[in-house]
Structure 1
Amino acid sequence: MGNEYHSVCCGLSTIMWQIDLVEGKDAPRERLIPTNSVAGKTVGLLLRMLSSMNGRGMLVVLDSGFCVLQGLVELRKLGIFASAVIKKRRFWPKHVPGDMMDQHMSAKQVGDVDSLKGHLDGVPYDLFCMKDTDYTMKLMSTYGSLVPSPKAPDKFRNVDGEVRKFQYTEPFENHYLYRHAVDDHKNLRHSDISLEETWVTHQWENRVFAFILAITEVNVYLAMRFFVWRCGDKPPMTFLEFRRQLAKALIYNEHMTHQDEDDDSSPRRSKRGKKTQHEKESAPSHARSYDGSNWIFGAKDAYQRYTCKSPGCKKLVRTYCSCSVGYWMCDACYVVHRIAVATDENVE
């Protein structure tokens, strides 16, 4: 059907620099990449996805799906600071007394913060909680304090007709600033004119290639916007303008022009002209015939088969050679066809 990926984006530039295919039970046993950890699959996934950050003292803002305290502790051992929003699914996460924290913050004013300190495997951590208008926001973190962030803007809440003014502390400020990094990247990828939506694919490997190509397209735009355009006087171009220029560059790609293929005077050029490609292909769904430029659809069966057009062959197929689209050809006749073409080229 489709694929699910874990992904990591830079909070400053929004560039996506790591994806991980969710294979589940389909993953082959021969894979050398460790998928699990002694502390569980989630911890193993975090360690694998963030391995390039080891020892660099960077901050990671995690989704609530990675709210596993053991994972944050293991990252801290490797020199990575992290925080994750705490949410109650069926139960509170392990080591998190969520009900007690709610009860403790019930009498606090909006904007008040507190923390529950602890140690796990010798690593200190904090369970931060902040009182909001109708709920208590909770974070587990291996960095930060209860002191308001110096660069945090003032926040305002209307409580019983009175305006309450406060500032976020560093863990909460980082959470609200960077939690949308992956969603922002995804929104750009799906915006007009989306490569994945305009490229109609029929094979799994093409859909994967379209997905990775679309990520690369967005990453190039984000890199230009963050590292190039913001350093000059010109305003950054929109993503739609960037896509138009990229499309033209791909169509008129000077790096794909080779003298041997395009120059009539080339000594390597075949007497018959440009060499024809020969690849076995399958007709698209509901295809009935080919009129020389477009497929004609209308077949009742999505994978309708037709009689091989080679003399004397009666096999039912839906494949053809790319040199003669719509000329139905079975596997055996395709092999004979390729041998005949290769022999003809060698004779020339």
Structure 2
Amino acid sequence: MGNEYHSVCCGVSKIMWQIELVEGKDAPRERVPPANAGAGKTVGLLLRMLSSMHSRGMLVILDSGFCVLQGLIELRKIGIFASAVIKKRRYWPKHVPGGIMDQHMSTKQVGEVDSLKGELDNIPYDLFCMKDADFTMKLMSTYGSPIPLRDAKEKRRRVDGEVKTFKYTETFENHYRYRHAVDDHNNLRHSDISLEETWVTHRWENRAFAFILAITEVNAYLAMRYFVWRCGDKVPMTFLAFRRQLAKALIENEHMRAEEEDTSPRRSKRSNATTIHELLSAPTHARFYDGSKWNLGAKSPYQKYTCKTPGCKKFIRTYCSCSVGCWMCYGCYGNHRSAVATDGNVQ
């Protein structure tokens, strides 16, 4: 019953800046095909999600679900570098000799890195593999080298009771540093007093709106944390404290505070000129208006009542917004508006 979204987050600030709803077979046939649909399902999705990064030389960290070499090559053609985790599901991904790579790394020491170079559509790429304590980590990438970074932190692994230390290469360092960006954003969105959980709704459009509103809430907090508190002397607040202040600001929003209308029955001719008049329908099951709320005790959902204008016997369920609960038909409403305009000298 829920929705699934593809999403992209900034690895540094964790701000989510692109989402796409997964429609699948539910997509209407009349819908215009999405952009880059001819490039394939995964490749087209990558090109759409990263459209704002074209020709900027930026780096994208992809999970195993996007481990399609053709996708990385197409991104490289438009100026985007990328790396993706290589995992064997039923088969190894195309162009990846995973079994041979595992056999090659079986005799290596923990922390050693090697690469299998290749070329597709005249674009070079590397299949990096790193020997870990219990497995061989593999990445397909269009950037990087197998040389460890000098300024990287030393990693420790215990093998047969002995501690081994090594440093990541650029590709593996970036992968482990930024791979949790989307998960971190989702964890904040699902933390205490989550908007999606407290807003109980079963309508699809409201649930989709709650999801997007929750993303905006987290993005606002992350923007404050990265661009404001990080550069100033203020101590960053927790997300819970930020949520409380945001909720209070929304309740006491001075920009949304409407002017109080004069509900006194005695009004001057001048006040009549500025009063908003609109013919409205009563809510379902309405009996009468008690001055503060509607009494909804009528058996019929669309119960009609006699127009209150003297001499009019029409059965209706409408009223003017200037006098809630005073039944008024469409014809009498026109005379009512004309009288108000004449008395108030409205041009």
Change in CA separation of 1:159 and 1:215 when aligned onto 2, cut-off 3 Å = same
Change in CA separation of 1:149 and 1:239 when aligned onto 2, cut-off 3 Å = same
Determine helix, strand or coil for the equivalent of 1:118: strand
Structure 2 counterparts to residues 197-236 of structure 1, below 5 A:
197-236=197-236
Q: What's the offset of the Cα at 1:222?
A: 0.2
C-alpha distance in structure 1 between counterparts of 2:156 and 2:332, whole Å = 76
Q: What's the offset of the Cα at 1:206?
A: 1.1
Superposed CA offset, 1:209-232 (max 9, x none): 111111000000000000000111
C-alpha distance in structure 2 between counterparts of 1:109 and 1:177, whole Å = 23
Determine helix, strand or coil for the equivalent of 2:82: strand
Q: What's the offset of the Cα at 1:308?
A: 2.7
Partner of 1:241: 241
Select 2:303's aligned residue among 294, 297, 310: 310
Task: Report if the CA contact (8 A) 1:115-1:129 is conserved.
Answer: yes
Superposed CA offset, 1:96-155 (max 9, x none): 000000000000011010000000000000000000011100000000001112332100
Q: What's the offset of the Cα at 1:346?
A: 3.4
C-alpha distance in structure 2 between counterparts of 1:180 and 1:174, whole Å = 11
RMSD between aligned residues: 3.5
Amino acid at match of 1:77: K
Partner of 1:327: none
Superposed CA offset, 1:51-88 (max 9, x none): 10000000000011000000000000000000000000
C-alpha distance in structure 2 between counterparts of 1:267 and 1:52, whole Å = 58
Partner of 1:77: 77
Change in CA separation of 1:281 and 1:30 when aligned onto 2, cut-off 3 Å = farther
Task: Report if the CA contact (8 A) 1:118-1:124 is conserved.
Answer: yes
Superposed CA offset, 1:253-312 (max 9, x none): 1111244x55789999669988899689899xxxxxxxx99xx9xxxxxxxxx7435159
Structure 2 counterparts to residues 177-196 of structure 1, below 5 A:
177-196=177-196
Structure 2 counterparts to residues 28-67 of structure 1, below 5 A:
28-32=28-32, 34-67=34-67
User: Is 1:346 aligned to residue 337 of structure 2?
Assistant: yes
Task: Report if the CA contact (8 A) 1:156-1:166 is conserved.
Answer: yes
Q: TM-score, normalised by structure 1?
A: 0.79
Q: Which runs of 5+ in 2 are unaligned?
A: 286-291, 306-316, 321-326, 341-347
Change in CA separation of 1:338 and 1:186 when aligned onto 2, cut-off 3 Å = farther
Structure 2 counterparts to residues 102-141 of structure 1, below 5 A:
102-141=102-141
Q: What's the offset of the Cα at 1:200?
A: 1.2
Task: Report if the CA contact (8 A) 1:39-1:70 is conserved.
Answer: no
Partner of 1:142: 142
| Number of residue-to-residue matches in the alignment | 312
Q: What's the offset of the Cα at 1:39?
A: 4.0
Determine helix, strand or coil for the equivalent of 1:231: coil
Amino acid at match of 1:129: C
Change in CA separation of 1:12 and 1:339 when aligned onto 2, cut-off 3 Å = farther
Identity %: 70
Determine helix, strand or coil for the equivalent of 1:137: strand
Partner of 2:254: 254
C-alpha distance in structure 2 between counterparts of 1:226 and 1:72, whole Å = 29
C-alpha distance in structure 2 between counterparts of 1:80 and 1:71, whole Å = 11
Determine helix, strand or coil for the equivalent of 1:256: coil
Amino acid at match of 2:251: I
C-alpha distance in structure 2 between counterparts of 1:137 and 1:122, whole Å = 26
Determine helix, strand or coil for the equivalent of 1:11: coil
Determine helix, strand or coil for the equivalent of 1:42: helix
Of the structure 1 ranges 158-167 and 264-273, higher mean CA displacement relative to structure 2 is found in 264-273
Amino acid at match of 1:308: P
Amino acid at match of 1:78: I
